[in-house]
Amino acid sequence: MIRLIAPALLLTLTAAAPEPRQALADLAFERIAPEGTPMPRFKVDAAWPLMPDDLLLGQVSGVAVGPDDSVWVVHRPHALTATDTGLVQNPPIAVCCKPAPPVAHFGKDGAYLGGWGGPASAPTIEGVNQWPGSLHGIFVDQDNTVWFGGNGKDDHVVLNYTAEGKFIHAFGRRGQTAGNESTDRLGNPSDINHSDGMVLISDGYTNRRVIGFDDRTNGYKGRWGAYGKPPVAPTRQGAFDQSHAVDPSKVADPKAPIFADIVHCVVPTKDGHLYVCDRNNNRAQLFRRGKDGSLTFVRDLVIAGETGGTHTVTDIAFSPDPEQKYLYVADMMNGRIWVLLRKTHEVLGAFGRVGRQAGQFTWLHSIDTDSEGNIYATEVNTGRRVQKLVFTGIE
């Protein structure tokens, strides 16, 4: 029966998409600073993004805003089940849907601009295809090139592509990891930044460090553990899976001398500093960047330090003003985004809550901001979406 009616239905599904529109709704909000303290406020746009009618996103494990304010995400098509993607089963079992390309591109208004990726787009090096099995993190640099890593089995590689999906370069190699001491091999890299002559990588799910490379020569520049010391923490044995993220034996220690076993983000500021997310210790660490590529520890930033489960600090973003006055911290376990004054790290408030409705979060994973101050937030595990939080002003 499906085969008889599918062509007519698919004609409807693939018709021209409607014009993007907004559907703004309130967010759960907690004010922590005294009443009257100015702070940014947001509403969620429940109509964003406007996906093509036949495409679905799996776990959305990274979001990045490009220099033109367009929005890029990476997702995990393998997280979709046969009942999600009935259209592409053999034979088809439903009139919809199919996975979106692993790297998907949207306009600020939510319009789908296209996508690319997968093993066919990646090089084979030493007999091994370099496409990660489980994409993790994405960064788009000022040259509009796209970077991402992976946290699945053997995903010890960072890939760099043009915006059109043409491979440029790889750091590390799939299937090869050599611990925190290595200067050319990675261990499940989680996040990337390319700025100020450096490629910085949070490395990540197997290793526990930050590693840096020169962006001209691709040569090694340095590696750092917690507090800027040599990375001596033990590496993960075996492949990561999401059951490890909720292991009750992993108790956060915001004063730990080493990074815990998920170093989750690497995010620079405009004034020469760098935040590193130490997720399972419920903290970020702030470093000062030297002109020679060095990192000098400045301070800890603890977020909801007693939290268990998946823990808190998964990503960091800033308000777009020149001073980056406000700091936003994504908190996975509590399903909220904390708002702080960046210079003092005073906590002003938080918005969002755990849930599945618009403006709520299930496994909140990655965030970024655009030039208008809007926040984009992604969810993994069963969350499987990206949301736009529209900046409505300072109140």
Q: How confident is the model at residue 3 (pLDDT cuts 50, 70, 90)?
A: very low
Question: Domain coordinates of the chain in residue numbers?
Answer: 2-8+24-394
Mean pLDDT of 70-84: 98
What pTM, to 2 d.p., does this model score? Answer: 0.95
Mean pLDDT of 102-110: 98
Instruction: Give me the pLDDT at residue 20, please.
Output: 74
Mean pLDDT of 195-211: 98
Mean pLDDT of 116-129: 98
Q: How confident is the model at residue 363 (pLDDT cuts 50, 70, 90)?
A: very high
Instruction: Give me the pLDDT at residue 287, please.
Output: 99
Give the rounded percent of residues in the chain with a pLDDT score beyond 90: 92
Q: Give the integer Cα–Cα distance in Å for 171 and 175.
A: 13
Quick: pLDDT tens for 79-102.
999 999 999 999 999 999 999 999
The answer, yes or no, to whether residue 340 has pLDDT greater than 90, is yes
Domain 2-8+24-394: which topology? Neuraminidase (2.120.10)
Instruction: Give me the pLDDT at residue 19, please.
Output: 66
Quick: pLDDT tens for 10-37.
434 444 455 678 999 999 999 999 999 9
The answer, yes or no, to whether residue 375 has pLDDT greater than 50, is yes
**What's the mean pLDDT when you consider all of the chain?**
95
Mean pLDDT of 57-78: 99
Name the residue with higher pLDDT: 45 or 250. 45
Quick: pLDDT tens for 227-253.
999 999 999 999 999 889 988 888 999
> Which amino acid makes up residue 389?
L
Mean pLDDT of 221-231: 98
